[in-house]
Copies of this chain bind each other. A is one copy, B any other.
Amino acid sequence: MHRIIDCHGHYTTTPPGVAAWRDAQKAAVAADAAFVGEKGALAVTDDEIRESLESAQLAFQRERGSDLTIFSPRASWMAHHIGNEHTSRFWTEHQNELIRRVCDLYPDNFAPACQLPQSPGASIDGSVHELRRCIDEMGFIGCNVNPDPSGGFWTGPPLFDRYWWPLWEAMIELDVPAMIHVSAACNRSFHTTGSHYLGADTTAFMQALASGFMADFPGLRWIIPHGGGAVPYHWGRFTGMAADQGWDFDALLDHIWFDTCVYHQPGIDLLLDVVPTENVLFASEMVGAVRGVNPDTGRHYDDTRVYLDASSLDDDGRRLVFEENARKVFPRLELP
């Protein structure tokens, strides 16, 4: 048999002390864009953390039979467009330290991935610094990288730009992957979890495909979340464009994995049909964007294991998608 590793979970159910700290910081930067302030402390007890998880992520793990979730701070709350590099750093440090506490309380259930203190216009060095702190000092196994810290205006450098190279180099050195995951949209054209997330997933993939830059970074590994945005559904479009343009589609798949956060059976079936099984990682993103029950299954929309179980994946494929691919992508993952 195999374990079931969920590679995509965020701490979306944090105790009230987290929002309180952030709200105060947001109020301060709204009043003064150059506000720095102090890191201070989150008013969050271990009991509150337990309570916030026992009734949610842990209950779902038990109910759905998953073993371990790679757990990172709430993606929509990263909000790198708010404040400046100093406030982003304090906020990020708190969020990552909170994830560490979660994983210390439940080492069998969660493994930590960090957010980074990105900020529009800021050097990437602060993110590299926090990545090293999390991996080297705090035992994290991966990170989330926001490809659009502007929050939906896409005014920063694309992922193939040399701006990002120190981060890619550090990830390779530390042997950790990144999930390429945007945060909340502050552009009213976009709905955060509806259009911004999915558009960003497709955009990140396309930046890698058209630039070919990943070939220069052997060992660089990305997870494209939410089933890869629009990519698998348009697999023919992307492979066909690659053939037209001379882009090396197959080589890209040495670097990119797609998660299974697709919330209906036909979508999962398509994902498994077109994407090589070696490039698919089980994930649910619970508790996340969709919280209701799918009338087609009688289970939560984000109970993606139900779709995987009903798919045509054979035993070898299941082992890859549920466990082995994740162990390959996250070599620092230590299973209980």
Residues of chain A having any CB pair with chain B under 8 Å: 147-148, 152-156, 158, 187-191, 193-195, 198-199, 202-203, 205-207, 209-210, 226-227, 229-230, 232-241, 243-244, 262-267, 269-270, 273-274, 289-292, 294, 296, 301-302
Contact = CB atoms under 8 A, between A and B. Distances in A.
A238 to B, nearest CB: 7
B230 A198 contact: yes
Contacts of A274: 264, 266
Contact of A290 (B187, B240, B270, B290): B240
> Most chain-B Cβ atoms within 10 A of its Cβ — which of A156, A229, A240?
A240
Nearest to A204: B195
A234 B158 contact: no
A147 B187 CA distance: 14
Nearest to A274: B266
A100 B302 CA distance: 49
Given A158-B188, A203-B199, A230-B229, A238 B194 contact: yes
22 contacts: A156-B189, A158-B189, A194-B241, A195-B205, A198-B202, A202-B230, A226-B234, A229-B230, A230-B233, A233-B267, A235-B267, A236-B263, A236-B290, A237-B264, A237-B289, A237-B301, A239-B264, A240-B263, A240-B290, A244-B290, A244-B291, A266-B270
Contacts of A203: 189-190, 195, 199
Contacts of A187: 154-155
Given A194-B209, A270-B270, A262 B237 contact: yes
A158 B301 CA distance: 28
A290 B249 CA distance: 15
A225 to B, nearest CB: 12
A279 to B, nearest CB: 15
B236 A189 contact: no
A143 to B, nearest CB: 20
Given A235-B266, A236-B294, A210 B230 contact: no
B292 A240 contact: yes
A302 to B, nearest CB: 8
Contact of A301 (B195, B202, B236, B264): B236
A193 B241 contact: yes
A206 B235 contact: no
Contact of A237 (B241, B263, B296): B263
A236 B198 CA distance: 13
Contacts of A292: 240, 243-244
A266 B199 CA distance: 21
The 5 closest A-B pairs by CB, nearest first: A236-B264, A199-B199, A236-B263, A233-B233, A230-B230
A288 to B, nearest CB: 10
Contacts of A194: 202, 206, 209-210, 237-238, 241
Contacts of A207: 189, 191, 195
A153 B203 CA distance: 13
